[in-house]
Amino acid sequence: MNNRPPISSSSNVINSYRKRRQRGNMNIVYILAGLFVLGGIVLLIYWLSNTPNNPVSNLLATETPTPTMTFTPTSTSTPTETSTPTETSTITPTATFSVPFNYTVQDGDYLALIVEKYNLGNDGVALILLLNPYNAESGTGVDPATQNIVPGEIILLPNPGMKLPTATTIPPDLPRGQKIDYIVQSGDTLAGIASLYNSTEDDIAKENNIIDRNALQVGQTLVIPVNMVTSTPTRPPTSTPITPGPGTLLPTATFTPVN
């Protein structure tokens, strides 16, 4: 039995295959042609859009909104030069007193420093010694020999402008050995004080337990026994008359006429 298809059927299949193949090739050609055309259009548009004042770019151009710059003020602190404060010493005002006043001795104090601090003048140390008489038995006051003061000690200070009392002339009728107080002044010597009160250095040194007679302290209070010696009046100087001799010129009086 013969199973081969008829020859006409085979030729139909071949022809159909050829047609499909031809259509496929044509489709590829059309696609490629379309791609070339599309690429040319794109190139043309690109070229025209990059040419100045071209009509295509004007047609295709859209109004681009211009961005508006809004400035927001910001708080910017400008650094300013700041001067560095210089530390200055704090000046503690000192009170001005019109009468002697109490003062508590501080650490590091000494008489000259206190005098300077309160402006007590040249006689300040002597006035402090006068206002704080030293008592060796009780240990109170300021020792004029050492002038030592202790922190915490309360002493009496003179007011600014206070003057030292001046020595007064003793009456001539005071009995012999009468004792008076005397405050040592600047420049005083034991011999000078003894001469002033008709006393002796030995009597004054003995009365005040003075060992070194050259170590008197300004402002120191001494007990003076007066009229221990009899004062000898000093005769006034006499003039010696001049006896005229040869060649001696005597003064002559000159008369001025009165109109």
CA 61 to chain centre: 77
C-beta of residue 131 within 8 angstroms of C-beta of residue 158: yes
- What pLDDT is stored for residue 105 in this prediction? 94
- Residues 110, 153 within the same domain: yes
In a domain, 255, yes or no: no
If you average pLDDT over residues 69-96, what whole number do you get? 58
Specify the amino acid at residue 182: Y
Specify the amino acid at residue 109: D
In a domain, 42, yes or no: yes
In a domain, 31, yes or no: yes
b/e sequence 163-180, b meaning 16+ C-beta within 10 Å: ebeebeebeeeeeeeeee
The percent of residues above 90 in pLDDT, for the chain, comes to 17
Residue 10 clears pLDDT 50, i.e. is over it? yes
Token output for 15: 């022809």
Q: How many domains does the chain have?
A: 3
Token output for 94: 């000192």
pTM value?
A: 0.41
Q: What are phi and psi of 21, to 5 degrees?
A: -65, -45
In a domain, 96, yes or no: no
Q: Identify which of 165, 170, 175 has the alpha carbon closest to the alpha carbon of residue 221.
A: 165
If one compares 73 and 100, the residue with the highest pLDDT of the two is: 100
If you average pLDDT over residues 36-45, what whole number do you get? 82
Residue 72 clears pLDDT 90, i.e. is over it? no
- Residues 118, 151 within the same domain: yes
Give the lowest-confidence range in 145-159, 196-210, 245-259: 245-259
If one compares 25 and 127, the residue with the highest pLDDT of the two is: 127
- Residues spanned by the domain of 151: 101-157
- Residues 147, 187 within the same domain: no
In a domain, 233, yes or no: no
- Residues 142, 185 within the same domain: no
- Domain CATH number, residue 138: 3.10.350
How far apart CA 166 and CA 163 sit, in angstroms, is 9
C-beta of residue 180 within 8 angstroms of C-beta of residue 170: yes
In a domain, 212, yes or no: yes
In a domain, 75, yes or no: no
- What pLDDT is stored for residue 82 in this prediction? 60
How far apart CA 125 and CA 220 sit, in angstroms, is 10
For 156, the enclosing helix (H) or strand (E) is: strand 154-157
Q: What are phi and psi of 182, to 5 degrees?
A: -135, 135
- Residues 105, 152 within the same domain: yes
In a domain, 207, yes or no: yes
- Domain CATH number, residue 195: 3.10.350.10
Average pLDDT in the chain: 74
